[in-house]
Structure 1
Amino acid sequence: MSLFQTKAWQSAWWETWGNQKGFRLLREWDGRVSGLYESRYRFKGLLPVRSLQFVGTSYRELRTPRTEYNQFCPDNLSGQPLLRDMDEMLQADPWTEAVFNDLRTGSEELSALVTIAATHNWAFRITASDNGYAVSTSGSFDNYIASLGANSRLRLFNRRKILESLGGVRQENLWPSNSDEFFQHLNRFHVARWQKNCVTPTSLEFHKKFLSRVEAEGGKPLLSALYCDGNVVSVLYNVWFRGVVYNIQAGFDEDFHRKLSLGSLHLGYAIEEAFNAQDTHRLDLLAGQGKHEDYKSRFATDQYQFISIMLVKSVLFRALYWMRG
């Protein structure tokens, strides 16, 4: 399981967004697997649809923080028992379509979905795929830095001297005392870069619920603010859970210095801390790309892939979805 299957993440998401019209919880989370819910809507405003989805995801209706590593069954279930349990799960409630986002490519669960769909003659569609990246932090930070390309090494580590020449540099974890300030900085940087908010009053409610609850499951919020000359110039929204630091979001001052990539430098500090922490073996950069380049691939030691799929039962809806593309 990952951070996203914790009771903290799942319960905070459902309490924040599960009150939408047409949403109904079908299977509650248990701290190991993702919950399942039904979303009812009308296709083209006419035909009623029952959509089965993971708690934490929304295929058409909502934009929410991304929930990755979704899974149906506990990690210790495999083979025929896993196939049987998933088949029973998918037949327990009536649905028109089942949309399952961000499953690990190559997982037994994804293979089971292919088998179950073929057995019942359900349509199987891949709706999206995305690469994820991580840094294994079990070895030496010096060896890791040495393994990078020259440009990546500059951005992540070597240009710290330039930053430090501009004023006193320090980092501070703004959880729990200054979390509102942290999210204000994150949103400010995000608006400047992308011209849209990444933190709304609703999503802030979610993040604060999640962060306050994850500690009970052994998680450690790391709302890292990087200061230079007393000013916050970069923020990293990280959470440690079961030996992994998850890098959920980041923001930085794009116009601070033309030779510095503050986001990369800040990430370099976080990676070094993860290497130095005995209780940490991985920093997960998760899925998604940067604005101008796939920067995560430059810094990662490991790469993986998520697949999002749709199952469709009825011949009518198969035809309608095929025509729509």
Structure 2
Amino acid sequence: MSLHLKRLSEADFSSMAYEWHVCVENSTANPVFLGWPWLYSWWEVWSQVLGLELVLIAVYDEEGALIGLGPFYRRAMLTSAGVRVYRLYLIGSAWRLASTVRTEYCGLVLPEGREDEVNDAILSAVAKLEWDELICSDVVGRDIARLSPALWPTANKPSFINRMNDRGVRVKTQGAFDDWLTGLGKNTRLKAYNRRTYLRELGELTFGAHDSENHGDFLKRLNDFHVVRWGKPVFDEDALRFHQLFIDRLPLGGGRAELTTLNFNGDCVSVLYDVVVGRWRMNLQAGFIEDFDSKVALGLLHLGFAVESAFKEDSVDFYDLLAGGGKKHFYKSHFQGEPVEFSTFQLVRNPIIGFLYWLQGIAPGPASRLFNRKIGL
């Protein structure tokens, strides 16, 4: 079988929403973070300010249909030691480069049934480009294997350096909500569900949808809650612009925003920012009044309503809580979901840079930090 590969331009990227959506639908890729609305909005907000070069590899089948995507970018950097380093990244991540929104489930878009063939084709194309290291952030197990050094078609195989691991939780929602609820620990069930009764004895408690077309007000309220709780907004100016673009574009990727509020006696006390694409519902952010009532954990209570809503939607298979912990503990582990392990790693094919990383790795803590400041990698 013959595949055709093409490196796409920024103009191509901007105009391929539908084609990209069909490609993702027929793939094993995460439909939110590897969908066109997320990745193109990320590129539009941060590519110019960070000086990024698009390296977007498209794979077409024998009939000319788009079946695979390698969403990369390249950036040249000059270290403090005066060494020029070419880095490849997966679009959506900027590890150690800048603070942007977090993109999880990063990887390649590969068609079901032809994953190996298309994966090999993309790696072969990328291997011909000039780069010293490839940085892959928040990649899950199956996609880590797809980028394994052993699969790269070069005599000089890249070396693998693991940098960071994180974990998330996703709840399967195909069964009955009551069964999931029964499986929770007593304390978690109290916080995520039973406290509804307590609040309804005190006043009017309602869970409802916010007008997604008026998402600016919703995002502002979310930021305001975070300022009170954390001392700073969750979204800076660039991130706000990103999320506004992303929400507007979600329908182009077959999705929608689920912006919900929890109201008590007519006042909004909690907001939850979810999105639904394909068979996934994902919780991107939450904000609430922390000292609302000593007996009530508003964030967990609101999540309980959202999970129940996901169980009621036949087309949704997962409610994904994504990576990251809470303010005090990893509350997601109590939600009776399956764990998801994320890895951030580098593939280094420049032997000199690889040796420098090795030296940095074996040096004691203070020496390693000094070494890094001097070399600037």
CA distance in structure 2 between the aligned counterparts of 1:278 and 1:21, rounded to whole angstroms: 42
Alignment of 1:130-141 (within 5 A): 130-141=166-177
TM-score by length of 2: 0.81
Ranges in structure 2 where 5+ consecutive residues have no aligned partner: 1-28, 59-65, 362-377
- Quick one: structure 1 residues 259 and 32, their matched pair in 2 at CA, closer, same or farther if it must change by over 3 Å? farther
CA distance in structure 1 between the aligned counterparts of 2:102 and 2:70, rounded to whole angstroms: 13
SS in 1 for 2:49: coil
Matched, 1:7 2:44: no
CA distance in structure 2 between the aligned counterparts of 1:78 and 1:132, rounded to whole angstroms: 28
The question of whether the paired residues in 1 share the 8 Å contact of 2:175 and 2:311 is answered with: yes
* Number of equivalent positions: 324
CA distance in structure 2 between the aligned counterparts of 1:83 and 1:179, rounded to whole angstroms: 38
Q: Deviations over 1:67-119 (max 9, x none)?
A: 111122314255641452243133131101100111111x1552542313696
Ranges in structure 1 where 5+ consecutive residues have no aligned partner: none
CA distance in structure 1 between the aligned counterparts of 2:70 and 2:286, rounded to whole angstroms: 25
Which residue number corresponds to residue 81 of structure 1?
117
Which residue number corresponds to residue 54 of structure 2?
25
Which residue number corresponds to residue 110 of structure 1?
145
TM-score by length of 1: 0.93
The question of whether the paired residues in 2 share the 8 Å contact of 1:5 and 1:34 is answered with: no
CA RMSD in angstroms comes to: 2.1
The question of whether the paired residues in 1 share the 8 Å contact of 2:119 and 2:146 is answered with: no
Which residue number corresponds to residue 174 of structure 1?
210
Which residue number corresponds to residue 285 of structure 2?
249
Q: Deviations over 1:246-299 (max 9, x none)?
A: 101111110100010000000000011111112222101111111111001100
The question of whether the paired residues in 1 share the 8 Å contact of 2:180 and 2:336 is answered with: no
Higher mean C-alpha deviation, range 187-196 or range 10-19: 187-196
Structure 2 counterpart of 1:253, one-letter code? I
Matched, 1:265 2:301: yes
Task: Quote how far apart the aligned CAs of 1:162 are.
Answer: 1.9
The question of whether the paired residues in 1 share the 8 Å contact of 2:86 and 2:132 is answered with: yes
SS in 1 for 2:93: coil
Higher mean C-alpha deviation, range 275-284 or range 192-201: 192-201
CA distance in structure 2 between the aligned counterparts of 1:194 and 1:159, rounded to whole angstroms: 24
Matched, 1:232 2:268: yes
Matched, 1:60 2:89: no
The question of whether the paired residues in 2 share the 8 Å contact of 1:170 and 1:228 is answered with: yes
The question of whether the paired residues in 1 share the 8 Å contact of 2:149 and 2:158 is answered with: no
Q: 1:284 aligns with which of 320, 332, 343?
A: 320
Which residue number corresponds to residue 306 of structure 1?
342
Task: Quote how far apart the aligned CAs of 1:45 are.
Answer: 5.7
